[in-house]
Amino acid sequence: MDAEFNGTYITLGGYVGVDKYGYLYFVILLALYLLILCTNLTIIYVICIHRNLHEPMYIFIAALSVNSILFSTTIYPKLFIDVLSQRQIISHSACMFQSFMFYSLTGSDFLLLSAMAYDRYVSICKPLQYPTIMGRITVTVLLALAWFIPALEVAVAIAINSKQKLCDFTTDGIFCNNKLFKLYCVQSTVLNVYGLIFIVNAAVIPVIFILFTYIKIFIITYHSCVEVRKKATETCLPHLMVLIFCLFLSVFDAISARLDSDLLKSVNLIMSLQIVVYGPLFNPILYGVKMKEISKHIKRLLCQTMTKSI
């Protein structure tokens, strides 16, 4: 590539065996993307059409599915193109946009899980005040903040990055994440400090809040009747599992950004795929299986679909 081309485009050098297995990669990725779309759209559809699911907890679950669809649609179409192309490249502006969507939606997931933890706390520990506290306005505000705050914080980081000069034009990833920061000529101290603040705001504080909330829930329900403990376990356990998985994928992202050796290229690719596959796919499958009301409606929907097809 000449200097002018390099000044606009970035090479995604994290692919392994694309020349030999490009069509196989394409089929697998397409199947995964369609599965992600189907599972998440099913969750959204079931929650939208059934009035008994028009409760804050299910609305937040639907919002998580919306995030999964947006996240996947930001990543997968570019993967389709790359595995079928001789050169895996992306424009700098498109790379910045992909990075923006990646981190703003990840931060949004943590805030949505925080809102769900608060909803469960009010529902289980303050049932008489629940309709007043978790009204439509409260839910709308929590949803707006969960999407707006991470987007604003990431937009500031992107604005700072846009002023940096690129000295390298090849990243060892398959999509644009924090590996992009290594391509700049000078590592900005301001950006490093701001990145740390973002991590604290987007992940550390929500996780501490969620753990604190669920600890209080389990302490209170421990001294309650069996029925209350059962309700708390059924509704809180799936959320905790999703939280653990989000943390796991975030750690994966942080670790993969520091794997530079060519010897670890295959490991890097596998870790990157874990991030873009399991996150969007894990949430709807977990909620579809573990949440009794959602599971019941999905089974009914599947039975109706099979009956009509027969």
**Residue 150: which H helix or E strand, with range?**
helix 136-161
pTM of the model as a whole? 0.88
The pLDDT of residue 280: 87
Determine the Cα–Cα distance for residues 191 and 158; give it in Å rounded to an integer: 9
In the structure encoding, which two tokens stand for residue 197, read together?
Answer: 């603040």
Residue bearing tokens 């027969």 = 310
Q: Residue 4: its pLDDT value, please? A: 41
Q: What is the pLDDT of residue 3?
A: 44
Residue 22 has a CB neighbour count (10 Å cut-off) of: 16
**Distance between CA atoms of residues 294 and 47, nearest Å:** 7
Instruction: Please tell me the predicted confidence (pLDDT) of residue 17.
Output: 79
- What is the domain range of residue 69? 3-309
10 Å CB burial of residue 108 (0-12, 13-18, 19+) is: buried
Q: How many domains does the chain have?
A: 1
Token pair in block for residue 236: 């809180």
Q: What is the DSSP string of 24-52?
A: HHHHHHHHHHHHHHHHHHHHHHHHHH-GG
**For position 60, which CATH number holds?**
1.20.1070.10
The structure tokens listed for 54 are 């028009």
Tens of each residue's pLDDT in the chain, 310 residues: 444 444 578 888 878 878 888 899 999 999 999 999 999 999 999 999 988 888 998 999 999 999 999 999 999 999 999 999 888 888 888 888 998 999 999 999 999 999 999 998 898 888 889 889 998 999 999 999 999 999 999 998 888 877 777 777 888 788 888 777 777 777 777 777 887 888 888 888 998 999 899 888 888 877 767 766 777 777 777 778 888 877 877 777 776 666 555 546 777 777 778 778 887 888 887 777 767 778 887 877 777 776 665 5
